[in-house]
Structure 1
Amino acid sequence: MRVLIGLLLAISAVACGSGATSATDRLHPCRIDEGPPDAFCGAYRVFEDRGARTGRTIDLKIVVAPALRRDPRPDPIFVFEGGPGGGAATLATQRIPMFRRFQTDRDIVLIDQRGTGGSNPLDCDQDDKPDDDPGLIDEHTVDRFRTCLQTLQADATRYTTSIAMDDIDDVRRFLGYDAINLWGGSYGTRAALVYLQRHEASVRAVVLDGVVPTDMRIPLYMARDGQRALDRMLDDCEKDTVGCASAYPGLRASTDALWAQLASKPRVTLPHPRTGAPLTITVSQQFAATVVLQALYTPEVSALLPRLLTDASRGDYKGLVALAFANDLPRGAISQGLFLSVVCAEDLPRIGAEDIARETAGRFIGRTLFETQVKPCEFWPRGLVDAEFYEPVRSPAPVLIFSGENDPVTPPVWGEHVHATLPNSRHIVVPGSGHITLMRGCVRQLVGRFFDAARVDAIDPACVNGLSRLPFFTTYTGAERRP
């Protein structure tokens, strides 16, 4: 019996020095409806009004994928989700596999920022969205947000990025971590930069992927950056003389003609992409522009665009409509009210009418789409944002920055913008990549080495040089080279 007790004590001692960290001691194994079965779940309660420290509270949803080694490193990776409006913990089942390579040595921590996922989401999704609605932003969206605002159990002014990042630091302390690593993607890079600015002493190293600086003025440059990505796609098609250019001669002219063609807002009936039932839908410029912009996010989908644009210019809209429904996010994936609480407070006050006219003129994403997206800001409550929020972050912390060469929303110019003021940073542009580069080529290996060393000079980015745009589809089954 003494031998057995000794063995149990030895096992317990090993466990205490292994993946059973103080963080997981404060959580519980995730239930099937909470997160991955091998992760730990829980919540941390904060006041909605952090200054008053009274009134409504928010339970911040937490998911931790514990390190797999018995002697893990003490510095976890905190994952900051995009949007704004995405909840990292709610998306844990999709996100943790992306970071599994790093989980060998470190805990992976995902938290639903206040107003997202399971943290009092500012959810403005439709409960009764019809089957013929692909969920794109249109003129009816504004009325939906007005109604939504009246039903929210929240003070929408208390959901800005700075407030949310102070929450995150509270969670860090609750979980027992000292220095942490940050990974942010898209809007998550803004969140990470704000956390670094406000809680620098708690940061060991930072990776930014698809940079959204605090002074970006979302969504002002969406038209400019989206046009750049579309033009690059058209240029690359023309250069592919035995493939894309041969299959789709005059693609640029066909695309220009398409935008003019859709000014009449043709209403068409075609098979529903999911059910096969007859679907009658209006294919407007705004509809097509939204679908094309979304397609440009990912190399695999943008490879289809020459075919889809050619078909649409000939009056066959089945491909565009199918892609619209394929991009329809599941309910709750993005808390649209949180998007407004962030953008209406942090970005829109710095956008003037002349800015909108300048940035949308002559671009496929016109001012109608821009104005529809921000129209709810006319009545959405705005939180306070201090002047420091817009100041460049100049922290000495090591920061590794990635940009996709063909990114339609966070192109390399934004990565370079942030790199210029971070003295200990490095900016890597990934050839052929769109929005978010983590899963492209050797990028995860570079991220892993950087987090291990916490030095930007510890990696050799030459491995990305062999990457390029994926071959364009010349048929719906793939690329075929013509003689």
Structure 2
Amino acid sequence: MSFSPIATAVASSQTANDRIAIEPGTVKLPTGETLAYEIGTFYVPENRNNPASRKIGVGFARIKAKQPTGAPPVFWLPGGPGLSVLGAFTDTDEASRSRLRSWSTFGAVGDLVIVEQRGYTRRGEMLVEMADASPLDKPASVRDDALAMQALARRAVAHHADKDLSGYTIEAFAADVDDLRRALSYDKISLFGGSFGSQWALAVMRFHPDSVARAVLSGVEPLNNGFDMPSHVVAALQRIAYDADRDPGLAPYLPKGGLMEAIRSLRTRFVAAPVRVSVKDDTGKPRTVVLGTEDMQLALLTHTAEAEHWPAFILSLYHGHYDEWAKMTIKDRQAHPTKLIGPLADNSLATTPEREHQLRTDPALDYLGTWNFESNFTSASDWPTPDMGDAVRRPRVTPIPVVFVHGDWDTSTPIENTLGLLPYFPNGHAILVHRAGHDGTFYQLRENPAAKQAVYDFLKTGATAALPTDVALALPKFEVPAFAAPAPQRK
């Protein structure tokens, strides 16, 4: 489908108190239909606990329903943290096209309001700091990564001395949503978010429960689960491996014991000794990178987003084909900009002592290490955002109706997150999606139009009778390693 958005806007108009600026615009959809929208900037205190705080801009957009529906408006909260989405009205990349197509469908529910994040919005500031490059001549190390995060935090504070970085807490993110609700004259709102967007939505429900009519959350990240439990991540990998082990195309590459045995063998191999891999980087320059046990742990955490590609990646390493991994590692170890609102928000949530104990004693640490949390815990005192406390983190029973949509192949926010939260939502409903990864609600439900329609109906009326409890996606076409399968061994 071709897509060439044409967006127009007129001069902004601000309210008398200069808190909000709104510009009307239009964009042409692939169907040829013209979609009218408003895009604006909402001005909020950088530190809500300081009456003298400077004001910062938070970007938002609104697509009004063509006809009033009587339903609460849907506030769409992006993930990340640090996902800026308002470029969808003008940009032509596939992610922007997909968002705009999705947003245009919410008109059947009611008004749609898209809210960007304080500290990372095109309509305000985008706070970043350069992270140092890591050396190529030694294996990666969680300890070195933690020290680098401490140094990054200290540089960020020094380089942004004109800003109050202590104001970027999860409570402030939630307050921004509620303030915008009031500025746009809405009594109650519905929330729609995935990944960090779900955590943000849960914070809105925690701090402003009377403002929320209902919510739809995917890739759910509870307030106490900013750092994933290693065994839950490994469980998702096991579920992917179950289908991969039965794929005819992968069969010639699999060791006896399947994909999980390949992972165990790789761990044994790298514990014994690191490997040196010589490749050419993107510029054609010869480079050598040293890869060790903790690199293998990191690879298991960071190369699993697309389940159909992950088995081929692991089997390539199992058979000693390290070049592509080495090229990716060379890129990963380069200096790169870091979005500050991620560690600032994470630091404000942290985790309860009980969960930290579970994280540090989890039996899957041998496979994944402490990459997921060590740098955050080590650098906690270097980031200026205050700890919100256990009373905020711990789940609390709430009557707000929530639909949770979660894939059991999700390695970024494992499905156990939803299963652990559900008892606290007596009016909650979970849709568990077999073979879905870390994706948004409607992408996970893409093969089930009736389920998608039931979610829209829930947002519009609160009806839950037609919502399924489980959905299964078709088996993906697993990628095959880019080399000939080894000859079968004779018995």
Q: Mark yes or no: TM-score above 0.5.
A: yes
**Cα 1:351–1:29 shift into 2, 3 Å:** farther
Describe how 1:72-471 pairs up with structure 2 within 5 A. Answer: 75-89=72-86, 94=96, 95-118=99-122, 119-126=124-131, 139=145, 140-152=148-160, 153-216=162-225, 218-219=226-227, 221=229, 223-240=230-247, 242-250=248-256, 251-263=259-271, 264-272=273-281, 274-297=282-305, 301-321=306-326, 335=339, 337-348=340-351, 350=353, 354-359=357-362, 361-367=364-370, 370-438=373-441, 439-440=443-444, 441=446, 442=448, 444-460=452-468, 464-465=471-472, 467-471=473-477
CA contact (8 A) 1:156 1:383 kept: no
Quick check: 1:146–1:376 contact (8 Å CA) kept in 2? no
Percent identity over paired residues: 23
Q: Is the 8 A contact 1:178 1:202 kept in 2?
A: yes
The aligned amino acid for 1:338 is I
Partner of 2:3: none
Cα separation, 1, equivalents of 2:64 and 2:479:
41
Distance 1:280 1:237 in 2: 32
Give the TM-score, by structure 1 length.
0.78
3-state DSSP of counterpart to 1:381:
coil
> Using the alignment, how far apart are the partners of 2:357 and 2:83 within structure 1?
31
| 1:209 partner amino acid | S
Give the partner amino acid of 2:315: T
Name structure 2 gaps, 5 residues minimum. 1-14, 28-33, 484-491
1:27 Cα deviation from its structure 2 partner: 1.2
For the 8 Å contact 1:248–1:310, the answer to whether it is kept is: yes
Runs of 5+ in structure 1 lacking a partner? 1-21, 478-483
| Counterpart amino acid of residue 342 in structure 2 | F
RMSD of the alignment, in Å? 3.9
Residues 1:173 and 1:314: Cα distance change in structure 2 (over 3 Å)? same
Q: CA deviation at 1:90?
A: 6.2
Is 2:29 the partner of 1:60?
Answer: no
- Calculate the TM-score normalised by the size of structure 2: 0.77
1:55-90 alpha-carbon deviations (Å, 9 max, x no partner): 3221111123x1462546563221222233434546
2:71, 2:334 → 1: CA distance?
Answer: 35
Q: Which has the higher strand share?
A: 2
| Bigger mean CA deviation after superposition, 163-172 or 384-393 | 384-393
**Compared CA separation, residues 374 and 39, structure 1 to 2 (3 A):** farther
The answer to whether the 8 Å contact 2:408/2:433 transfers is yes
Shift of 1:114: 2.0
Confirm or deny: 8 A CA contact 1:225 1:409 kept in the other structure.
no
The alignment partner of 1:59 has SS state of strand
**SS where residue 364 of structure 1 aligns?**
helix
Q: CA deviation at 1:476?
A: 4.7
Aligned residue pairs total 440
314-323 vs 196-205, which moves further = 314-323
**If each structure's helix is expressed as a fraction of its own residues, which one has the higher value?**
1
**1:373-401 residue CA offsets vs partner (Å, 9 max, x unmatched):** 54322422241425541343433222111
Shift of 1:212: 1.4
Q: Does 1:41 align with 2:36?
A: no
Contact 1:224 1:363 in 2 (8 A): no
CA contact (8 A) 2:192 2:217 kept: yes
| Cα deviations by residue, 1:164-214 (Å, 9 ceiling, x for unpaired) | 211211111112323211012112212112212322232222001121112
